[in-house]
Amino acid sequence: MSTTELHQQVRERFGVETIDDRVVALGAAGALCLLVSAITFLIGSPFTALPFAGFLFTVAYGLYEYQAATAKALSFLATIGTGTILALITFYLLVEALPAIRLMGAEMFTSTSEPMWRTRGEEMYSLVPMMWGTLVTTVLAMLIAGPLGVAGALFISEIAPDAVREVVKPAVETLAGIPSIVYGFIGFTILNDYMMESLELPTSGSLVIVGLVVGLMSLPTVVSVAEDAIASVPESMKSGSLALGTTDWQTIKSITIPASFSGVSAAVLLGVGRAIGETMAATVILGHAQRLPDPLYDVFGNTETLTSLIASQYGVASGTHMSALFAAGVVLFVSVTVLSIGSQYIERRMKHQLQGES
Amino acid sequence: MFDRVALGIVGTAIVTFLLGWTTLFDRTSPDTAVAGLSLFALFGVAFLLAGAGLIAAGIASNVGLFKTTADQYTGLGTGVAFGVVGFATGGLVTTILFGVGATGSALAGLVVALIVTLGIAVLPEDIGTTLPVGLLALVWGVLLAAGFVDVGWVWDPPSLAATFHAPIVVPLVTIALSLLVAWSGAIVAEGFGSQGRQNGAYLMIGLNAFGMIAVLLLLILFVVRKGLPTLLEGAQFGPGLSISVPFLTKGVMLGQQYNGIFPAIVGTVWLVVGAVVLAIPMGIGAAVFLTEYAEQGRFTAVIETATNALWSTPSIVYGLFGYAFLVPRFGNRNSLLAGMMVLGFMLLPLVVITSREAIKSVPDEYRDASAALGVNQWQTIRSVVLPAAMPGVVTGVILGVGRIAGETAPILLVTSGAPFPARAPSILGSFRFTATPPFVQNEALLQASSALPYQLYAVITAGVGQEEAFGWGTALVLLLVVLGFYAIGIASRIYFRRKLHQ
């Protein structure tokens, strides 16, 4: 946003409350300092510290002299900052990904002819195997996390006695806290060996283990979000059903689940987002082969996911190769953001509907 | 008599279910023999008994030997559920027996599924919920008990890379069938009808919850068991209060008796501190603005969507962003500062979301009461709203910190340096003020550092060998740190909630 707009914002927001011109001037000075330090930081100038110190000084003076207005301005800045980070992420990912996309064109997302990934000589970057790998692991993960997660949410919200709930709920949350690298380490040292030994797999690592581990990891997300949705079904709807003489389970089946259906699907979508973005478990477990499994549905085969591609190759990549990794990041970012916005839309609709019904 | 049989069936199924898991993980050997029968034959006998019991119970209820509340039809819901089972069974059996390809077996599975679904949906409930399960159990029982499927059985599908041996297949099928049998038995135990169906469903949902707790406990216990010896290697307790645990207080150096992960611990602590310093003021500020100052409209909706999108952005994307945006601006090399900022960006949306929830849940009466005293909005926020919202904010922040403390992917891209450093970064000791730009310098902040999750990753990429024990020790410390944050977060939530309800 330009300085004049910012001035106007400051005037609009603070002029009404305090007609003091000095507040406006101070706000403008602070905003200018921050803007200059943002610009110097963006161009990588070593002088960033100067305007930033000016900003800090303005804030300190403002907090001392006009506390209310300064606090409001700061909170506004924090809000803008949150949005700016998303914008910066989008911008930098796209800019860095452009060279590879320009080189490959649409083939980057469609080409299935061998070789699909060659970083030396005649470069070739097709993301198809990675997208397939991500798709397969995500589907496998959701086959686990979806039904089990919803059942777990039903248990916590509707079925468990209070004492049991007090144990199960924190335990599920804690499960979400186990770092993915720990899962990955267990998968790498224990599961990979187990699968190679018992299933005679030719290579270490397979999509099915990643799917399993990632499913376990996205389970807590599904449980807690679905539980929120199920708990938000108004008590009056359930009591109405119970008063007709139904069993608890009949009420759950015909009232609670249908009423919370959109919220529960939002939970599953969020779980899908988590599964798509899961990096370390896939990186550590998979054998990193950038080709499609043969046949396509061979889940015991080895391929690559978008996330593991980035994590395993960033260290050796440069130039177009690095740019291709950013393109993988763009695919990840776009799909997860679409899922996030979709689940928010569904959630909002559900809230709207429930308010209409209760 | 009737419900005793049913309970017996449920009990048997739960025993075979648990034994299936222990066999799958090599805790019980398939060669275990009880009363001259091998483990698999025992499974077979159990399934024969359970299957026969189920069928007998179903028929007894149907002909009116026992009074039950069975419905006239099984219904489409149960039919579809069995259809799914039929699809799996039909498809697998046709490939294993006749060796048809994927398309053929999928078609066969579909045909079976269709017949099963329609057939079962129109059966009386007491037959429809027992007979199919009973038949499956009988078939599986005969296969195992008569030795058609024994320890040496192998199936090598041509299109998959895997070869399936009996020690894996038998436990898996047994676990799946045990669940079916337990469900059916639970329905019989309550005499079918709506009560029976509730019983069956609750049993399944309860087992699922039990399973999640079991997985959590097993994971933790497993890491503790594997990591504890490394953690305590060379540790000395006493005399008195002197405790020395070299694994936690030493780096990795040549010629040192015990190597440790002290630099990684310090790295993680600094990363977390940096992220918290960045994210908390900003996140709470944004939450205050969005909830207290801003009018609810387009602007707040956009920011809210952006926050949620940030929250679901994968960590590796944050890493890429830091690599493209921050690293070139901090001297083109990996640095602790870049890691702090990236983790701060990751923590930010969580702080905004939880703080908003907490601020929203402060009752409006508080605000009105404060405003009635004639103070302005900021004073109300500062002395009434924020203190009242603090418990929720604190809990959310602690849980968020637990999450970022274990993050690996972004650190990998923007902070990681030598995997096993000898010394910890000394941040406080390296501030320098200079007369030339950038005026403030801190070498340590701009240098690569290790961190607990990165160290674990380094163990894996270095190839497992003698390092594996080191890795388990690191995993245990990391787990303790993260679970410690979670324990504090959850405990503080329970504490504040109790206080609120007093």
Both A224 and A92 in a single domain? no
> Quick one: which H or E segment has residue B441?
strand B440-442
Q: Is the pLDDT of residue A238 over 50?
A: yes
d(CA B21, CA B174): 9
pLDDT digits (tens, 9 = 90+) for B189-228: 887 878 888 888 888 898 888 888 888 888 889 889 888 8
Interface check for A40 against chain B (CB to CB < 8 A): the answer is no
Distance in angstroms between the alpha carbons of the first and the last residue of chain B = 49
Instruction: Give the model's confidence band at A18: pLDDT under 50 very low, under 70 low, under 90 confident, else very high.
Output: very low
DSSP at B288: H
The interface predicted TM-score of the complex, written ipTM, equals: 0.87
Q: Is the pLDDT of residue B344 over 90?
A: yes
Q: Are A44 and B329 inside 8 Å of each other by CB?
A: yes
Both A258 and A132 in a single domain? yes
- For residue A255, give its domain range: 117-357
Interface check for B373 against chain A (CB to CB < 8 A): the answer is no
Q: For all residues of chain A together, what is the average pLDDT?
A: 83
pLDDT digits (tens, 9 = 90+) for A126-153: 888 888 889 999 999 999 998 999 999 9
Q: Where are the domains of chain B?
A: 2-74+123-202, 262-501
Both A56 and A149 in a single domain? no
Both A19 and A134 in a single domain? no
Q: Is the pLDDT of residue A155 over 50?
A: yes
Smallest Cα distance from B184 to chain A, Å: 16
DSSP at B428: G
Q: Are B325 and A88 inside 8 Å of each other by CB?
A: yes
C-beta separation of B398 from B489 below 8 A: yes
Both A95 and A124 in a single domain? no
**Which pLDDT value is given to residue A16?**
45
Dihedral sign, Cα of residue A180, residue A185, residue A187, residue A188: positive
Half-sphere exposure of B356 (CA within 13 A, CB side): 23
Both A173 and A274 in a single domain? yes
Q: Which residues contact B334 (CB under 8 A, 6 or more apart)?
A: B327, B413, B414, B415, B416, B417, B448
Which phi and psi angles does B466 have, rounded to 5°?
-70, -15
Q: Lowest-pLDDT range, A250-254, A258-262, B463-467, B494-498?
A: B463-467
Both A96 and A123 in a single domain? no
* Domain end among A47, A74, A102: A102
DSSP at B257: S
Answer left, alpha or beta for residue B17, where phi above 0 means left and psi between -120 and 50 means alpha: alpha
Q: For all residues of chain B together, what is the average pLDDT?
A: 83
Q: Which residues contact A89 (CB under 8 A, 6 or more apart)?
A: A333, B310, B313, B317, B318, B321
Q: Are B213 and A170 inside 8 Å of each other by CB?
A: no
Both A7 and A37 in a single domain? yes
Mean per-residue pLDDT, B319-347: 87
Q: In B, residues 149-188, which contact A (CB 8 Å cutoff)? A: 159-165, 167-168
d(CA B81, CA B93): 18
Please state whether the peptide bond connecting residue B438 to the residue before it is cis, i.e. omega within 30 degrees of 0.
yes
d(CA B269, CA B249): 14
Smallest Cα distance from B445 to chain A, Å: 15
Instruction: Give the model's confidence band at A15: pLDDT under 50 very low, under 70 low, under 90 confident, else very high.
Output: very low
- Cα B389-B390-B393 angle, rounded to 5 deg: 90
Interface check for A200 against chain B (CB to CB < 8 A): the answer is yes
**Which pLDDT value is given to residue A8?**
64
DSSP state letters, A325-357: HHHHHHHHHHHHHHHHHHHHHHHHHHHHHHHHH
Judge whether A51 lies within some domain.
yes
Count other C-beta atoms under 10 Å from residue A182's C-beta.
Answer: 24
d(CA B260, CA B265): 10
Give the number of domains in chain A: 2
Chain B: residue whose CA lies nearest to A333: B313
Percent of chain B whose predicted confidence (pLDDT) is above 70: 92
DSSP at B328: G
Which phi and psi angles does B223 have, rounded to 5°?
-65, -40
Tokens standing for B81?
A: 């559920």
Choice between B233 and B15, residue whose per-residue pLDDT is larger:
B15
Instruction: Give the model's confidence band at A51: pLDDT under 50 very low, under 70 low, under 90 confident, else very high.
Output: confident
DSSP state letters, B294-306: S-SSHHHHHHHHH
Bridge partners (DSSP) of residue B232 are: none
Instruction: Give the model's confidence band at B348: pLDDT under 50 very low, under 70 low, under 90 confident, else very high.
Output: very high
Judge whether A302 lies within some domain.
yes
Q: In B, residues 277-296, which contact A (CB 8 Å cutoff)? A: 281-286, 288-290, 292-294
d(CA A309, CA A128): 12
CA distances (Å), A160 to each of A236, A318, B116, B197, B298, in order? 20, 54, 33, 17, 40
Interface check for B419 against chain A (CB to CB < 8 A): the answer is no
C-beta separation of A105 from A179 below 8 A: no
Q: Are A199 and B381 inside 8 Å of each other by CB?
A: no
Give the residue from A76, A72, A28, A75 showing the smallest Cα distance to A54: A28
C-beta separation of B260 from B250 below 8 A: yes
d(CA B496, CA B499): 5
Chain A: residue whose CA lies nearest to B222: A186
d(CA B453, CA A177): 13
Smallest Cα distance from B203 to chain A, Å: 10
Interface check for B361 against chain A (CB to CB < 8 A): the answer is no
User: Using a CB-CB distance cutoff of 8 angstroms, which residues of chain A are in contact with residue B204?
Assistant: 151
CA B480 to chain centre: 16
C-beta separation of B409 from B315 below 8 A: yes
pLDDT digits (tens, 9 = 90+) for B286-309: 999 998 888 888 888 888 889 988
pLDDT digits (tens, 9 = 90+) for B377-398: 888 888 888 888 888 888 788 8
Amino acid identity of residue B444, one-letter, is A
User: Using a CB-CB distance cutoff of 8 angstroms, which residues of chain A are in contact with residue B198?
Assistant: 247-250
Please state whether the peptide bond connecting residue A295 to the residue before it is cis, i.e. omega within 30 degrees of 0.
yes
C-beta separation of B364 from B462 below 8 A: no
Q: Is the pLDDT of residue B56 over 50?
A: yes
Residue B101, SS3?
coil
pLDDT digits (tens, 9 = 90+) for B237-259: 766 666 777 777 776 766 666 77
Mean per-residue pLDDT, A66-81: 85
Interface check for B2 against chain A (CB to CB < 8 A): the answer is no
List alpha helices for chain A, DSSP H: 3-15, 21-42, 49-65, 67-104, 107-110, 128-154, 162-177, 180-186, 192-199, 207-231, 235-243, 248-251, 257-259, 261-277, 280-285, 306-313, 320-357
Judge whether A149 lies within some domain.
yes
- Comparing CB atoms, the residue among A96, A160, A311 nearest residue B412 is A311
User: Using a CB-CB distance cutoff of 8 angstroms, which residues of chain A are in contact with residue B186?
Assistant: none
pLDDT digits (tens, 9 = 90+) for B134-170: 888 888 888 888 877 777 777 777 777 777 887 888 8
Both A146 and A285 in a single domain? yes
Dihedral sign, Cα of residue A329, residue A334, residue A337, residue A342: negative
CA A271 to chain centre: 9
Q: In B, residues 202-261, which contact A (CB 8 Å cutoff)? A: 202, 204-206, 208-209, 211-213, 215-216, 219, 222-223
Name residue, tokens 């070869």. Answer: B163
Judge whether A198 lies within some domain.
yes
User: Using a CB-CB distance cutoff of 8 angstroms, which residues of chain A are in contact with residue B167?
Assistant: 198
pLDDT digits (tens, 9 = 90+) for B454-499: 888 888 887 655 577 888 888 899 998 888 888 888 888 888 878 7
Interface check for B98 against chain A (CB to CB < 8 A): the answer is no
d(CA A148, CA B212): 9
Q: Are B317 and A333 inside 8 Å of each other by CB?
A: yes
Interface check for A201 against chain B (CB to CB < 8 A): the answer is yes
**Which pLDDT value is given to residue B342?**
92
Interface check for B272 against chain A (CB to CB < 8 A): the answer is no
* Domain end among A102, A137, A168: A102
pLDDT digits (tens, 9 = 90+) for A196-211: 777 777 777 788 888 9
Residue B70, SS3?
coil
**Which pLDDT value is given to residue A139?**
92
C-beta separation of B303 from A83 below 8 A: yes
Amino acid identity of residue B287, one-letter, is A
- Cα B484-B489-B490 angle, rounded to 5 deg: 100
Judge whether A107 lies within some domain.
no
Name residue, tokens 């970064």. Answer: B425
d(CA A141, CA A105): 31
C-beta separation of B248 from B234 below 8 A: no
Q: In A, residues 110-129, which contact B (CB 8 Å cutoff)? A: none
Tokens standing for B108?
A: 């066969």
**Which pLDDT value is given to residue A247?**
85
Query: In the CATH hierarchy, which fold is given to the domain comprising B262-501?
Result: MetI-like fold (1.10.3720)
Amino acid identity of residue B125, one-letter, is E
Smallest Cα distance from B466 to chain A, Å: 13
Interface check for A52 against chain B (CB to CB < 8 A): the answer is no
d(CA A344, CA B6): 45
CATH classification of the domain holding A186: 1.10.3720.10
Both A212 and A304 in a single domain? yes
Smallest Cα distance from B238 to chain A, Å: 32
Choice between A51 and B274, residue whose per-residue pLDDT is larger:
B274
Q: Are B293 and A72 inside 8 Å of each other by CB?
A: yes
Q: Are B316 and A279 inside 8 Å of each other by CB?
A: yes
CA distances (Å), A310 to each of A140, B219, B316, B318, in order? 21, 28, 8, 12
Give the residue from B485, B344, B288, B458 showing the smallest Cα distance to B402: B485
Smallest Cα distance from A32 to chain B, Å: 19
Q: Are B198 and A248 inside 8 Å of each other by CB?
A: yes
d(CA A236, CA B136): 42
- Comparing CB atoms, the residue among B195, B286, B321 nearest residue A89 is B321
CA B374 to chain centre: 50
DSSP at B49: H
d(CA A355, CA B171): 48
- Comparing CB atoms, the residue among B223, B294, B440 nearest residue A49 is B440
Both A224 and A332 in a single domain? yes
Both A86 and A156 in a single domain? no
Q: Are B406 and A172 inside 8 Å of each other by CB?
A: no
Interface check for A48 against chain B (CB to CB < 8 A): the answer is yes
CA B330 to chain centre: 36
pLDDT digits (tens, 9 = 90+) for B353-385: 889 888 888 888 888 888 888 888 888 888 888
Tokens standing for B35?
A: 């009363």
Bridge partners (DSSP) of residue B416 are: B449
Q: Give me the count of residues in chain A.
A: 358
Q: Are B324 and A68 inside 8 Å of each other by CB?
A: no
> Residue A70: is it exposed, middle or buried by C-beta count within 10 angstroms (0-12/13-18/19+)?
buried
How many DSSP H helices and E strands does chain B contain? 19, 8
Mean per-residue pLDDT, B270-281: 90
